[in-house]
């Protein structure tokens, strides 16, 4: 017998289930079909590729289908996103950042890629848009217009693709509420179920931005520019 | 609330989104609805690859692709449709490549290809173990680039007809608000996926594969064909029905019974292997997949997902232990009958993807042909629906605001439908599964009929309007029962075994 506490309506509700060694998704499905028909959550593939069942357990983002339940777990919806009901959140806004960042391929001439080229953005193209990274991101928590981790990873996916011809347009798009707003705290990397590091992708986008003449606006505003690269203001 | 577009597409998997792109390119306004989000569709689960006779990894020809597909179809396919699909395959893959799909590549800078069951050459183009995921996400990104309107979390309830009887839109449940919406359109494309979840937990599919579009189209008068043909995949995890890819056997995995003995040719077609396993299970054997001899390094490199899922769901590590498996429903060949323009027998209604039947799979689908089908016929459906909508003049909607949800208010909770959903899944798995008999089919038929009549006793307990998944799942359950009845009826009519339909 295990007891778990689930965010429901305006508080937490405790459920006791006779399941051991089960995934959180199995437990939620058990509760939904056998104990409480009113519990709301999303799920789909059960095998970590659809990104539907992202939520938080003990304040950590997980996919319910790949997390083994422990006695006493506390289950909540993702953070930094509009709550619809219980564990269900509205993903429309975070999805919209992909469009805002123009995260798609712009190409006219066919380019052949080899095995090495394939490896450049293989991991980035594993993204399942589960939204765990937005939930864990402290920058997005305070700036709702920050393009955010998965959208920037998607931009890097296309910018690093040899087929991409609109690199400069893409780089221009991510200067405001984009690459320079990230604090490189790495929380997105730690919670990603696909082992993607948006932080690392953002660093690569910063280097690319520098090649196009952009610089960290927090340096620029101090008038120091590249004078003091250790990060200390130059006044 | 009312919405209006020239072409309405129901379903945002690979087929629906490809249709949307092509309809929009044809110059009409497009709206896509999905009961989930686009990237959560069943397409994301496809692992194996997409077939095209490119000959990148060994000699191949379009003609061989056609012949392999025809053979697998057991005479139940339309050769012309297969010829069209296989001939279009190279340009379909070229299109996917041009929009940025991260296909695996060979050392000499070509799209990598591998051999799947039933293919005479390495023909399946793949993107590591994530072919469907990467294709779906890239098509989705393309839709963003083309500014396609996609409305998430909308559940199709019924199709609307104009006074002439042509389809002119759909009535839809906005899952988030609980409100009923009317979406008007000159043409509607159903691209809502297959019906493997009639077998409930005995299926590899997403919980969303409940065949809603097929049930709704059928209620509107669309013809369904080949519904008795359901593909059972030999190796799913025993308790969770999670798919263990065919590549585990392709790479040299064995199938063993409780005595540790091999009992079949592991590389025979899926239906043959599934029947061999089923026979052993009926004898009381437990069946296992053994990949231990492939070694830890190989398993980590070639089958990492499989190792992770076996550990997670069965608590076994395939490097050291046997994986308990069973065959479960994986793909449904049957669906809404369409002509070579992807149009159904009802004016204004089109269909593509797993819910449609373009007669390219016949009695058994070949691995790698489903991703191909959604791209090739998604395009056709989109272009033809757009053309149709341009030629259609303004019509008047037949006045009716009736939905099943109104009726539902009167339903009681005397019977728990979740319990019945599980029961139906197990009943169909046993009686309408891998091996069928007339007696068992008749028994299942009367059970489904009686359950359908009892629906008014199985209402929804959750009375909230917003995000009521209890309500959505009940609507799906009703669709599942309607489809189950058709599958059984067609299985009874086909008295001779053919492909995936095996009757003794």
- The alpha-carbon gap from A171 to the nearest alpha carbon of chain B, in Å, equals 16
Query: Which residues in chain A have Cβ-Cβ distances shorter than 8 Å to B235?
Result: none
Paired tokens of A182: 């990230």
Answer whether B378's CB lies under 8 Å from B22's CB: yes
Query: Which residues in chain A have Cβ-Cβ distances shorter than 8 Å to B138?
Result: 105
Please give the ipTM for the structure prediction.
Answer: 0.95
Closest-CA residue in chain A for B47? Answer: A49
- What is the rounded average pLDDT of the residues B188-202? 98
Would you say residue B347 has pLDDT above 60? Answer: yes
Q: What is the pLDDT of residue A221?
A: 59
Total beta-carbon pairs less than 8 A apart between chain A and chain B:
146
Element (H, E) at A121: none
Burial track A96-127 (b if 16+ CB lie within 10 A, e otherwise): ebbebbbbbbebeeeeebeeebbebbbbbbbb
- Beta bridge mates, B233: B328
Matching residue, tokens 């009874």: B492
Would you say residue B29 has pLDDT above 60? Answer: yes
Answer whether B201's CB lies under 8 Å from B425's CB: yes
Question: Measured between CB atoms, does B145 come within 8 Å of chain A?
Answer: yes
Closest-CA residue in chain A for B312? Answer: A66
- The pTM is what? 0.96
Closest-CA residue in chain B for A114? Answer: B109
Rg (CA), chain A: 21
Question: Measured between CB atoms, does B319 come within 8 Å of chain A?
Answer: no
Local confidence pLDDT in tens for the 235 residues of chain A: 899 999 998 899 999 999 988 999 999 999 999 999 999 999 999 999 999 999 999 999 999 999 999 999 999 999 999 999 999 999 999 999 999 999 999 987 888 899 899 999 999 999 999 999 999 999 999 999 999 999 999 999 999 999 999 999 999 999 999 999 999 999 999 999 999 999 999 999 999 999 999 999 887 655 444 544 454 444 4
Please state, in angstroms and rounded to a whole number, the distance separating the CA atoms of residues B34 and B20.
12
Do the strands B180-190 and B2-10 form a parallel or antiparallel pair, or are they unpaired? parallel
A54 — phi, psi (to 5°)? -70, 140
B439-479 per-position pLDDT tens digit: 999 999 999 999 999 999 999 999 999 999 999 999 999 99
> Residue A200, exposed/middle/buried by CB under 10 A (0-12, 13-18, 19+)?
middle
Q: Which of 462-481 (B) contact A at CB < 8 A?
A: 462, 464, 466-470
Question: Measured between CB atoms, does B309 come within 8 Å of chain A?
Answer: yes
Q: Which of 54-113 (A) contact B at CB < 8 A?
A: 66, 68, 84-86, 88, 90-92, 95, 98-99, 102-107, 110, 112-113
Q: What is the pLDDT of residue B301?
A: 80
Q: Indicate yes or no: CB of B98 within 8 angstroms of CB of A49.
A: no
B390 — phi, psi (to 5°)? -65, -35
**Which pLDDT band, with edges at 50, 70 and 90, does B305 fall under?**
confident
Percentage of the residues of chain B whose pLDDT score is greater than 90:
88
- What is the rounded average pLDDT of the residues B431-438? 98
- The alpha-carbon gap from B156 to the nearest alpha carbon of chain A, in Å, equals 18
Question: Measured between CB atoms, does A46 come within 8 Å of chain B?
Answer: yes
Please state, in angstroms and rounded to a whole number, the distance separating the CA atoms of residues B31 and B6.
8
**Which of B142, B239, B467 should we substitute to test contact with A (largest number of A Cβ atoms within 10 Å)?**
B467
- What is the rounded average pLDDT of the residues B411-416? 95
Answer whether B64's CB lies under 8 Å from B121's CB: yes
Q: What is the pLDDT of residue B446?
A: 98
| Four-way CATH pick for B2-227+333-391: 1.10.620.20, 3.40.50.720, 3.60.110.10, 3.50.50.60 | 3.50.50.60
Question: Measured between CB atoms, does A30 come within 8 Å of chain B?
Answer: no
Range with the lowest mean pLDDT among B115-119, B387-391, B462-466?
Answer: B115-119
B316-325 per-position pLDDT tens digit: 999 999 999 9
Q: Indicate yes or no: CB of B309 within 8 angstroms of CB of A105.
A: no
Q: Indicate yes or no: CB of B105 within 8 angstroms of CB of A44.
A: no
Question: Measured between CB atoms, does B403 come within 8 Å of chain A?
Answer: no
B81-110 per-position pLDDT tens digit: 999 999 999 999 999 999 999 999 998 999
Query: Which residues in chain B have Cβ-Cβ distances shorter than 8 Å to A118?
Result: 102-105
Closest-CA residue in chain A for B207? Answer: A44
Across the interface, of A40, A117, A122, the residue whose CB is closest to B467 is: A40
Across the interface, of B100, B109, B208, the residue whose CB is closest to A158 is: B100
Which CATH number does B404-493 carry?
A: 1.20.58.100
The helix/strand/coil state of B351 is strand
Chain mean position to CA B493: 23
Domain ranges for chain B, please list them.
Answer: 2-227+333-391, 231-329, 404-493
Chain mean position to CA A191: 8
Query: Which residues in chain A have Cβ-Cβ distances shorter than 8 Å to B107?
Result: 114-115
Answer whether A192's CB lies under 8 Å from A182's CB: no
Would you say residue B349 has pLDDT above 50? Answer: yes
Give catalytic residue positions of B.
270
**Which pLDDT band, with edges at 50, 70 and 90, does B407 fall under?**
confident
Query: Which residues in chain B have Cβ-Cβ distances shorter than 8 Å to A161?
Result: 100, 102
Question: Measured between CB atoms, does A128 come within 8 Å of chain B?
Answer: yes
Would you say residue B267 has pLDDT above 90? Answer: no
Matching residue, tokens 């123009």: A102
Domains observed in chain A: 2-89 (3.10.20.30), 92-216 (1.10.1060.10)
For residue A119, give every residue at least 6 positions away whose Cβ sits within 8 Å of its Cβ, in sequence order, or none.
none
Element (H, E) at A144: none
Q: Indicate yes or no: CB of B467 within 8 angstroms of CB of A68.
A: no
Q: Which of 154-183 (A) contact B at CB < 8 A?
A: 154, 157-158, 161, 163-164
CATH class (in words) of the domain with range B231-329: alpha beta
Closest-CA residue in chain B for A97? Answer: B144
Q: Indicate yes or no: CB of A47 within 8 angstroms of CB of B309.
A: yes
Q: Look over chain B and give the mean of its residue pLDDT values, rounded to a whole number.
A: 95
**Which of B100, B129, B242 should we substitute to test contact with A (largest number of A Cβ atoms within 10 Å)?**
B100
For residue B400, give every residue at least 6 positions away whose Cβ sits within 8 Å of its Cβ, in sequence order, or none.
none
- The alpha-carbon gap from B359 to the nearest alpha carbon of chain A, in Å, equals 27
- What is the rounded average pLDDT of the residues B232-244? 95
Q: What is the pLDDT of residue A228?
A: 45
Question: Measured between CB atoms, does B197 come within 8 Å of chain A?
Answer: no
Question: Measured between CB atoms, does B39 come within 8 Å of chain A?
Answer: yes
- What is the rounded average pLDDT of the residues B154-158? 97
Q: Indicate yes or no: CB of A154 within 8 angstroms of CB of B106.
A: no
> Residue B500, exposed/middle/buried by CB under 10 A (0-12, 13-18, 19+)?
buried
Q: What is the pLDDT of residue A107?
A: 86
Q: What is the pLDDT of residue B409?
A: 86
Query: Which residues in chain B have Cβ-Cβ distances shorter than 8 Å to A164?
Result: 100
DSSP B284: T
Q: What is the pLDDT of residue B212?
A: 98
B410 — phi, psi (to 5°)? -85, -10
**Which of A82, A98, A106, A118 should we substitute to test contact with B (largest number of B Cβ atoms within 10 Å)?**
A118
């Amino acid at each position: 017998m295990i007891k778990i506490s689930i965010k429901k309506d305006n508080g937490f509700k405790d459920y006791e289930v006779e399941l051991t060694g089960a995934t959180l998704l199995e437990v939620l499905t058990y509760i939904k079909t056998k104990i409480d028909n009113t519990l709301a959550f999303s799920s789909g593939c059960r095998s970590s590729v659809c990104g539907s069942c992202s939520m938080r357990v003990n304040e950590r983002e997980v996919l319910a289908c790949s997390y083994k339940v422990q006695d006493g777990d506390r289950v909540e919806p993702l953070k930094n996103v509009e709550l619809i009901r219980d564990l269900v959140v509205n993903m429309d806004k975070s999805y919209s950042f992909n469009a805002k960042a123009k995260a798609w391929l712009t190409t006219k001439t066919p380019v052949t890629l080899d095995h090495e080229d394939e490896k450049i953005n293989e991991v980035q193209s594993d993204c399942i848009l589960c939204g765990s990274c937005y939930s864990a991101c402290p920058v997005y928590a305070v700036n709702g217009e920050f393009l955010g981790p998965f959208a920037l990873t998607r931009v890097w996916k296309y910018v690093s693709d040899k087929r991409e011809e609109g690199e400069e347009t893409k780089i221009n798009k991510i200067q405001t509420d984009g690459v320079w707003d990230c604090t490189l705290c790495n929380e997105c990397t730690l919670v990603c179920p696909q082992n993607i590091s948006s932080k690392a992708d953002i660093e690569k986008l910063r280097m690319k931005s520098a090649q196009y003449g952009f610089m960290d606006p927090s340096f620029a505003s101090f008038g120091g520019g590249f004078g003091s690269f250790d990060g200390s203001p130059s006044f | 609330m009312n919405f209006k577009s020239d072409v309405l597409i129901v379903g945002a998997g690979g087929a629906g989104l490809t249709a949307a792109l092509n309809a929009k390119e044809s110059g009409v306004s497009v709206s896509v609805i999905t009961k989930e989000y686009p990237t959560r569709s069943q397409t994301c689960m496809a692992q194996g690859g997409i077939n095209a006779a490119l000959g990148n990894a060994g000699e191949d020809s379009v003609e061989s692709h056609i012949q392999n597909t025809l053979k697998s179809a057991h005479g139940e396919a339309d050769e012309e449709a297969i010829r069209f699909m296989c001939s279009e395959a190279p340009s379909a893959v070229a299109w996917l490549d041009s929009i940025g799909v991260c296909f695996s590549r060979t050392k000499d800078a070509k799209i990598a290809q591998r051999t799947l069951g039933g293919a005479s050459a390495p023909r399946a183009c793949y993107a590591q173990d994530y072919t469907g995921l990467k294709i779906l996400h890239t098509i989705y990104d393309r839709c963003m680039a083309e500014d396609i309107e996609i409305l998430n979390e909308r559940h199709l309830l019924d199709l609307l007809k104009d006074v002439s009887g042509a389809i002119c839109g759909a009535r839809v449940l906005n899952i988030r608000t609980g409100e009923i919406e009317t979406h008007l359109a000159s043409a509607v494309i159903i691209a809502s996926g297959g019906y493997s979840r009639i077998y409930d937990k005995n299926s590899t599919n997403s919980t969303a594969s409940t065949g809603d579009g097929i049930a709704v189209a059928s209620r509107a008068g669309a013809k369904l064909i080949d519904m008795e043909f359901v593909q059972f995949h030999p190796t799913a995890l025993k308790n969770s029905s999670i798919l263990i890819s065919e590549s585990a056997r392709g790479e040299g995995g064995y199938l063993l019974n409780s005595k540790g003995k091999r009992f079949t040719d592991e590389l025979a077609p899926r239906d043959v292997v599934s029947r061999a396993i089923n026979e052993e299970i009926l004898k009381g054997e437990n069946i296992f997949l053994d990949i231990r001899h492939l070694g830890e390094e190989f398993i980590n490199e070639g089958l990492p997902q499989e190792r992770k899922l076996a550990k997670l769901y069965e608590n076994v590590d395939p490097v050291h232990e046997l994986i308990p498996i069973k065959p479960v429903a994986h793909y449904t060949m049957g669906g809404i009958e369409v002509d070579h323009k992807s149009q159904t027998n009802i004016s204004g209604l089109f269909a593509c993807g797993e819910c449609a039947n373009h007669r390219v799979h016949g009695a058994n689908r070949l691995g790698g042909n489903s991703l191909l089908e959604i791209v090739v016929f998604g395009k056709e459906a989109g272009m033809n629906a757009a053309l149709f909508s341009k030629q259609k003049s303004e019509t008047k909607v037949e006045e009716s605001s009736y939905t099943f949800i109104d009726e539902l208010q009167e339903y009681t909770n005397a019977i728990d439908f979740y319990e019945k959903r599980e029961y139906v899944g197990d009943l169909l798995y046993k009686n309408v599964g891998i091996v069928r008999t007339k007696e068992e089919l008749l028994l299942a038929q009367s059970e489904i009929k009686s359950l359908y009549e009892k629906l008014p006793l199985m209402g929804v307990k959750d009375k909230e309007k917003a995000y009521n998944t209890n309500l959505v799942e009940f609507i799906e359950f009703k669709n599942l029962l309607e489809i189950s009845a058709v599958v059984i009826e067609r299985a009874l009519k086909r008295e001779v075994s053919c492909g995936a339909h095996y009757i003794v």
